[in-house]
C-alpha cells in the first residue's frame, strides 16, 4: 500500500502506468466518478491495477487486488483529475513540442529513438497515442503543481545557514552520486549453490559491461531490482544515506566508473557511478566586465541600432572614456548608471554571444559590435580571475533541499485542500 500512498502525493512515474499494460476491448467503460467537469472510467481503474500487478511481477511479488486497493486507486485518480481540472481553469496546456521532448528523453533513457519506442510499445500491443496522452497528463499535473505550490516557496539565507550548522544538514549536503544498478537477487537463507550461481551470473554481467555492453540494456534484461525497467536508474543518491555496505564501496568512487560486485543481504550488485558532485573543489573563471547596450525598437531598426553601436565603438577607439559613453548611451538600466559595470560574471550567467565574447577578449580590449537577443553590445573585460565557488555550491545544494522539504509540505496541504474543494460524484 505504501506505493499507492506515495503515488497520491508524487504523481505517476512517467509512463509507468502504461508500460507493459494495455486495455482490452472487453473492458466496461462505465463512469465510476465525476470530478468537476471530468470523468473517471472503470477502465482507468483497471489499467492502474494492471500497472501495479506488472510492477509486482517484475519484483517477483504478488499483488492482491482487494476492495481497499480499488478504493485507493480510485482516490488517486480523483486527486489527479482534480489537478487536471485546476490546470484547465488556469488555461495551462502541454504543447506538442514539450511533449515530444519528454518522449524523446524517455526513449533515450531506454537507449531507443522515438520511433523505436513507438514500435516497441506497439509490438507489445500497447497504444502509442494513449501513452502520449498519459505522459501529457502527467506533465500537466507537474506544471500545475509548479504554478500553484512551488512558485510560493521561499528559503532565506538565514535558513540555509542554520540548516548547514545541523547534523542533518551536513548529512543532507554530503556528496551526491548519480547511480544505476544491476541486482542479482538472493532469497532469504540461500544455499551455497544459490550463492555460487548468483556470483557466476553477476560476474558474467560485469564481464559484458567491461566489454562495452550498454548498462541499461543489461539492467532491463537481467536485473532483479525494482528499477530494472528504467535501465537500473537510481537517480541522484546521498552518499551518507546509502546502506553502509554501499557507502563504503562508493566513498572514493569517481564519475563514470563501475563498482562491484557488492554483496548485500539481498544479493549481488553492480553499481554504475554516472556522475558525482558535492565534495570537490569547484573553481570557475570570472570576468570583471562592462558593456554598452543599444536596443532595436519600433523607431530604430536592427540595422540602425547596429550602425549606432558601431559609431560608439569608433568613439572608444578614438579615445573616448567607456564609462562616459555607457552613462550617456547604454540602454541597460541596471549598468548604465555605473558606467556599464556588470561586476564579476561567469560565462554560464550570460547569453551565449556575450559569453563567447568575454571568454575570448584580452584584458583591457574593447570588443567589436556583438549581437545578442537583447540587442547590440560593445564589451570590455577589465580583469580575469579564478574563483572557488565550493561554498556557494554547498549553500545552493542546501537551499534546494530546504526548498524541496517546504514544497512537499505545501504539496500535502494543497492536495488535501483541492480534494476537499473538488466536486466529486461517485457512481
Its pTM stands at 0.55
The CATH number of domain 283-388 is 3.10.50.40: yes
Reported as a single tens digit per residue, the pLDDT across 58-109 is: 777 777 888 888 888 888 899 999 999 999 999 999 999 899 999 998 888 8
Topology of domain 174-277 in CATH is: Chitinase A; domain 3 (3.10.50)
Confidence band (pLDDT; 50, 70, 90) for 8? very low
Rounded CA-CA distance 293/309 in Å is 8
User: For position 121, what pLDDT does the model report?
Assistant: 84
The mean pLDDT of 236-250, rounded to a whole number, is 82
Give residues with Cβ within 8 angstroms of 316, minimum separation 6. 322, 325, 366, 378
Enter the C-alpha cell of residue 380. 570590455
Q: Is the Cβ–Cβ distance between 181 and 231 less than 8 Å? A: no
End-to-end CA distance of the chain: 24
**Residue 251 or 203, more confident:** 203
**Average pLDDT of 203-223?**
89
Q: Is 18 exposed, middle or buried (0-12, 13-18, 19+ CB in 10 A)?
A: buried
Q: Residue 110's pLDDT is what?
A: 83
Task: Say whether the peptide bond before residue 88 is cis (omega within 30 degrees of 0).
Answer: no
Q: Which helix (H) or strand (E) holds 362?
A: none
**pLDDT above 90: residue 139:** yes
CATH of 2-148, one of 1.10.760.10, 3.30.360.10, 3.40.50.2300, 1.10.4030.10: 1.10.4030.10
Inform me whether the pLDDT recorded for 164 exceeds 70. Answer: yes
Q: Is the pLDDT of residue 317 over 60?
A: yes
Instruction: Decide whether 174-277 matches 283-388 in CATH topology.
Output: yes
pLDDT at 173: 67
Distance CA 190, CA 217 (A): 27
Q: Spell out the domain ranges in the chain.
A: 2-148, 174-277, 283-388
| Alpha-carbon distance values, 71 to 64, 243, 406, 413 (Å) | 13, 35, 29, 21
pLDDT in tens, 349-387: 899 999 999 999 999 999 999 999 999 999 999 999 988
Query: How far is residue 257's CA from residue 209's CA, in Å, rounded to a whole number?
Result: 11
Quote the percentage of the chain above a pLDDT of 90: 36
What pLDDT is stored for residue 298 in this prediction?
Answer: 87
Residue 269 near residue 222, CB atoms below 8 Å? no
| DSSP state letter for 188 | S
At residue 172, the pLDDT reads: 65
CA 325 to chain centre: 44
Evaluate if residue 336 carries a pLDDT over 50. yes
Q: Residue 2's pLDDT is what?
A: 43
pLDDT score, position 37:
87
Length of the chain: 427
Amino acid at each position: 500500500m505504501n506505493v499507492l500512498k506515495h503515488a497520491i502525493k508524487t504523481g505517476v512515474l512517467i509512463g509507468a502506468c502504461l508500460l507493459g499494460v494495455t486495455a482490452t476491448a472487453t473492458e466496461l467503460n462505465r463512469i465510476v466518478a465525476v470530478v468537476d467537469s471530468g470523468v473517471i472510467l472503470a477502465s482507468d481503474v483497471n489499467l492502474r491495477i494492471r500497472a501495479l500487478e506488472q510492477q509486482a511481477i517484475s519484483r517477483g511479488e504478488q499483488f492482491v487486488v482487494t476492495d481497499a486497493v480499488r478504493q485507493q486507486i480510485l482516490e488517486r485518480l480523483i486527486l489527479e483529475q482534480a489537478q487536471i481540472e485546476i490546470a484547465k481553469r488556469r488555461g495551462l496546456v502541454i504543447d506538442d513540442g514539450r511533449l515530444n521532448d519528454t518522449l524523446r528523453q524517455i526513449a533515450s533513457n531506454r537507449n531507443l529513438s522515438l520511433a523505436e519506442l513507438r514500435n516497441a510499445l506497439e509490438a507489445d500491443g500497447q497504444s502509442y497515442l494513449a501513452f502520449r496522452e498519459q505522459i501529457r497528463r502527467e506533465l500537466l499535473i507537474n506544471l500545475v503543481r509548479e504554478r500553484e505550490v512551488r512558485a510560493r516557496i521561499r528559503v532565506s539565507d538565514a535558513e540555509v545557514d542554520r540548516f548547514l550548522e545541523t547534523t542533518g544538514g551536513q548529512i543532507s549536503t554530503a556528496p551526491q552520486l548519480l547511480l544505476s544498478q544491476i541486482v542479482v537477487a538472493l532469497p532469504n537463507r540461500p544455499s551455497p549453490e544459490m550463492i555460487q550461481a548468483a556470483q557466476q551470473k553477476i560476474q558474467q554481467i560485469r564481464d559484458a559491461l567491461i566489454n562495452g555492453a550498454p548498462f541499461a540494456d543489461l539492467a532491463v534484461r537481467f536485473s532483479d531490482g525494482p528499477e530494472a525497467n528504467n535501465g537500473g536508474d537510481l537517480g541522484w543518491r546521498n552518499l551518507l544515506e546509502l546502506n553502509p555496505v554501499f557507502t563504503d564501496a562508493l566513498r572514493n568512487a569517481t564519475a563514470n566508473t563501475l563498482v562491484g560486485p557488492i554483496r548485500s543481504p539481498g544479493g549481488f550488485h553492480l553499481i554504475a557511478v554516472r556522475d558525482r558532485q558535492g565534495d570537490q573543489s569547484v573553481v570557475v573563471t570570472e570576468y570583471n566586465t562592462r558593456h554598452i547596450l543599444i536596443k532595436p525598437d519600433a523607431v530604430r531598426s536592427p540595422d540602425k541600432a547596429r550602425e549606432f553601436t558601431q559609431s560608439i565603438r569608433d568613439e572608444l577607439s578614438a579615445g573616448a572614456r567607456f564609462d562616459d559613453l555607457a552613462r550617456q548611451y547604454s540602454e541597460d538600466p541596471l549598468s548604465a548608471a555605473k558606467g556599464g559595470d556588470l561586476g564579476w560574471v561567469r560565462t554560464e550567467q550570460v547569453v551565449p554571444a556575450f559569453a563567447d565574447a568575454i571568454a575570448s577578449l584580452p584584458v583591457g580590449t574593447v570588443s567589436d559590435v556583438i549581437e545578442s537577443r537583447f540587442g547590440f553590445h560593445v564589451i570590455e573585460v577589465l580583469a580575469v580571475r579564478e574563483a572557488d565557488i565550493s561554498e556557494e555550491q554547498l549553500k545552493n545544494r542546501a537551499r534546494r533541499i530546504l526548498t524541496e522539504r517546504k514544497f512537499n509540505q505545501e504539496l500535502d496541504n494543497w492536495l488535501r485542500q483541492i480534494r476537499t474543494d473538488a466536486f466529486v460524484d461517485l457512481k
